[in-house]
Amino acid sequence: MINDFHYLKPASVKEALAMYAEHDDCKVICGGQSLLIVMRQGMVAPEYLLDIKGLKELNYIRFDEKDGLRIGATTTHREIEKSDVIGKRYPVLVAMEEKLASIQTRNWGTIGGNLAHADPAGDPGPVLIALKAEIKFGSSNGEKTVPLDEFFVDYFETQMEHGDLVLEVHIPTPAPKFGCAYQKFNLLDSEMGIVAAAASVTLNADGTCADARVVLGNAGPTPLRVTKIEDLLKGKKLDDKLFAEAGKIASEEAQPVADIHASEEHRRHVLGVLTKRMLKKAFEQAQKA
């Protein structure tokens, strides 16, 4: 049962930041898709709820060929899924969103809320890190922009401190020969992943690997960037053997925790399979690009 709380409804980002700074026992709610679950379970019982759902200032999707893609924090998953420009330039984001929970959740849940919640099983984190995204957050004392892989600190913990709101996600324009793929492993198509892997590959003009990223979902306290794989692939001509080797590294580097849905062994194994497959998929996309 949800305990009673005071409800704060700011009219602007400025007002929101001021209200947040003012109240100590205060949680931010936007879509509520993560927060309400823990509130119902009684795990979180704040005195104040700061509702930033109505902040139109933070609801936008802007793309500029030079600057890249900027998504405001209160943009819903569904808006990202249905965005033409994202579909065209970042199809992996749309594919990821299409399998993020249910349509009802995507209609209400927001990208900022998802990232702030910092669930290592969340879908956007790994994909956005593979896309080299950075995140902007701020409080009444000022703003800060950090690479997304540094933003996540631990289970459900980010660099943000009390008073900070997520403001924007920024993704650079993809290089000419770039590919990115994401897949989660689960029993039901659109539920939270048991484990997941995102991979991106940038190719040089001669077809060798300029850059690669592999980010594992639900394989540790935060989305897990496997730099060992990046080092392995950079400068090489990619092939199935390398993808298999990368998969092996992913299995070893992952820190998954067993629960009723899968053993640790199975999680490691599947992470290896997904890494291999996603790298290959990203590579093939980059070749075609």
Pure H helices in 99-223? 103-108, 111-117, 124-130, 148-151
187 contacts other proteins (rule: CB under 8 A): yes
DSSP 174: P
Least spacing, CB of residue 224 vs other proteins, in Å: 19
Other Cβ atoms less than 10 A from the Cβ of 67: the count is 12
Q: Which residues of 30-63 are buried (b: 16+ CB within 10 A; e: fewer)?
A: bbbbbbeeebeeeeeebebbbebbebebbbebeb
- Are 174 and 89 in contact, with CB atoms under 8 Å apart? yes
| Shorter beta-carbon distance to other proteins: residue 17 or 216 | 216
189 contacts other proteins (rule: CB under 8 A): yes
Which residue from 38, 146, 244, 273 is in contact with other proteins, where contact means CB under 8 A? 273
43 contacts other proteins (rule: CB under 8 A): no
Least spacing, CB of residue 247 vs other proteins, in Å: 10
Which residue from 23, 53, 89, 269 is in contact with other proteins, where contact means CB under 8 A? 269
262 contacts other proteins (rule: CB under 8 A): yes
Q: How far is residue 205's CA from residue 190's CA, in Å, rounded to a whole number? A: 37
191 contacts other proteins (rule: CB under 8 A): yes
Contacts of residue 14, defined as CB under 8 A and 6 or more positions apart, other chains included, come to: none
| β-strand partners of 110 | 76
Which residue from 192, 210, 232, 244 is in contact with other proteins, where contact means CB under 8 A? 192
Which residue from 43, 66, 161, 188 is in contact with other proteins, where contact means CB under 8 A? 188
DSSP 9: -
Restricting to residues 80-139, name those near other proteins by CB under 8 A: 102
| Shorter beta-carbon distance to other proteins: residue 150 or 245 | 245
Least spacing, CB of residue 118 vs other proteins, in Å: 17
Q: Contact positions toward other proteins, by CB under 8 A?
A: 1, 37, 102, 185, 187-192, 260-263, 266, 269-270, 273-274
